[in-house]
C-alpha cells in the first residue's frame, strides 16, 4: 500500500488526474489523502468531489475553509463569488449527496502508525494531541447535528483576532477550532490568530507576526504535520516536521503529491 498526500486541489481535476496517472494510483491498494480545499477557484470542483466520494475508504480528506464555505453557499447562508466556480455543484442532481459527504469529513486526520497529523491549515501551538483530537471531534459532531446550519455554519465566520482559552464555550469554542485548523497562517506574538496577512514569511516586516509553525508546539516531537492552505509558502517551511503541500495550482503554479513511503514529492504544472 502506498499513501499519497495531495495539496489544495481547488477544482483542478485535470491536474489531479495527471498526478494520479504519474504514480499509477490504484484505489484497490493505495490511499489518497487530501489536505482540504477540494473546491473553488479551479474549473471542475464538481468532478473532484465526485472522485473523492467514489474512492470510499481509499480517499481520506479534511475540510478546508473553501469546503466549509461551500456548505454555507449551498444552504443559501452565503453568496458565492464568481471566482469560486461553485455553480456546477449548486446545480448538480447529486448536490445534496455531495454536501452530506462533505459534512461527514473531519477537520483532522491522523495516521498514528506513521505519526502523521493532517489538517488544512496546521495545528495551533497551544494544543497537545489530546486537545487536537477532542476539539476537532466536537466540530465534527456539530457538523453532523440536525441544526448544523443554524448552530454552526451561520456563525463560523469572524475577522476578529482570536486566542485559545480553555474557558471558551459553545460556538466560540467551535469557531476557534474551525479558524485555527482551516484559516491559520500567521499568529501574533501572543498566540492569537491573524486573518489579514497571506504573504510569504520572507516578505512580512511586522515584528508582531510569525508563522504558526515557528512557535513551540505541544505535539510529540516525533509527529509530522501535513497541511495546505498557504500557497505563498510554495511548500517551504524550513522544518522537516512540517510538510506544506499547497503550491498554488489554481493560481497557475503546480499541484503537489507527496508519496509517504518514498518521501518524495511529485508535481504537475497547472494547465491554466
Give 80's pLDDT tier (boundaries 50, 70, 90).
Answer: confident
Tell whether the model's pLDDT for residue 185 goes beyond 80. Answer: yes
**Between residues 84 and 270, which one has the greater pLDDT?**
270
> pLDDT tens, 164-183?
999 999 999 999 999 999 99
pLDDT at 205: 83
Q: What phi and psi values does residue 163 have, to the nearest 5 degrees?
A: -125, 155
Architecture of domain 3-269: 4-Layer Sandwich (3.60)
CA 58 to chain centre: 18
Average pLDDT on 191-195 reads: 94
Three-state secondary structure readout of 135-172 = HHHHHHHHHHCCCHHHHCHHHCCCCCCCCCCCCCCHHH
Spatial CA neighbour of 155 closest among 77, 64, 66? 77
pLDDT level of residue 193 (50, 70, 90 thresholds): very high
More confident: 15 or 79: 15
Region 129-156: what's the mean pLDDT?
96
Q: Give residue 161's pLDDT.
A: 65
Q: How far apart are CA 242 and CA 219, in angstroms?
A: 12
The structure's pTM equals 0.96
Amino acid at each position: 500500500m502506498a499513501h499519497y498526500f495531495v495539496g489544495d486541489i481547488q477544482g483542478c481535476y485535470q491536474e489531479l488526474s495527471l498526478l494520479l496517472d504519474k504514480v499509477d494510483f490504484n484505489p484497490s491498494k493505495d490511499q489518497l489523502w487530501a489536505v482540504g480545499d477540494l473546491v473553488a477557484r479551479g474549473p471542475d470542483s464538481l468532478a473532484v468531489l465526485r472522485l473523492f466520494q467514489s474512492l470510499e475508504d481509499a480517499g481520506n480528506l479534511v475540510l478546508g475553509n473553501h469546503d466549509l464555505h461551500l456548505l454555507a453557499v449551498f444552504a443559501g447562508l452565503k453568496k458565492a463569488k464568481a471566482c469560486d466556480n461553485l455553480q456546477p455543484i449548486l446545480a448538480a442532481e447529486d448536490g445534496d449527496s455531495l454536501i452530506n459527504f462533505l459534512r461527514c469529513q473531519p477537520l483532522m486526520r491522523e495516521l498514528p502508525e506513521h505519526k502523521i497529523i493532517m489538517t488544512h491549515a496546521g495545528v495551533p501551538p497551544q494544543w497537545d494531541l489530546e486537545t487536537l483530537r477532542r476539539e476537532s471531534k466536537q466540530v465534527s459532531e456539530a457538523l453532523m447535528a440536525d441544526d448544523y446550519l443554524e448552530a454552526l455554519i451561520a456563525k463560523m465566520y469572524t475577522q476578529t483576532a482570536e486566542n485559545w482559552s480553555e474557558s471558551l464555550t459553545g460556538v466560540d469554542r467551535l469557531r476557534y477550532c474551525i479558524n485555527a485548523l482551516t484559516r491559520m497562517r500567521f499568529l501574533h506574538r501572543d498566540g492569537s490568530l491573524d486573518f489579514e496577512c497571506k504573504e510569504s514569511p520572507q516578505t512580512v516586516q511586522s515584528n508582531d507576526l510569525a508563522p504558526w509553525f515557528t512557535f513551540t508546539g505541544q505535539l510529540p516531537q516525533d509527529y509530522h504535520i501535513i497541511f495546505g492552505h498557504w500557497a505563498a509558502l510554495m511548500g517551504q517551511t524550513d522544518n522537516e516536521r512540517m510538510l506544506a503541500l499547497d503550491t498554488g495550482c489554481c493560481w497557475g503554479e503546480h499541484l503537489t503529491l507527496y508519496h509517504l513511503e518514498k518521501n518524495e514529492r511529485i508535481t504537475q504544472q497547472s494547465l491554466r
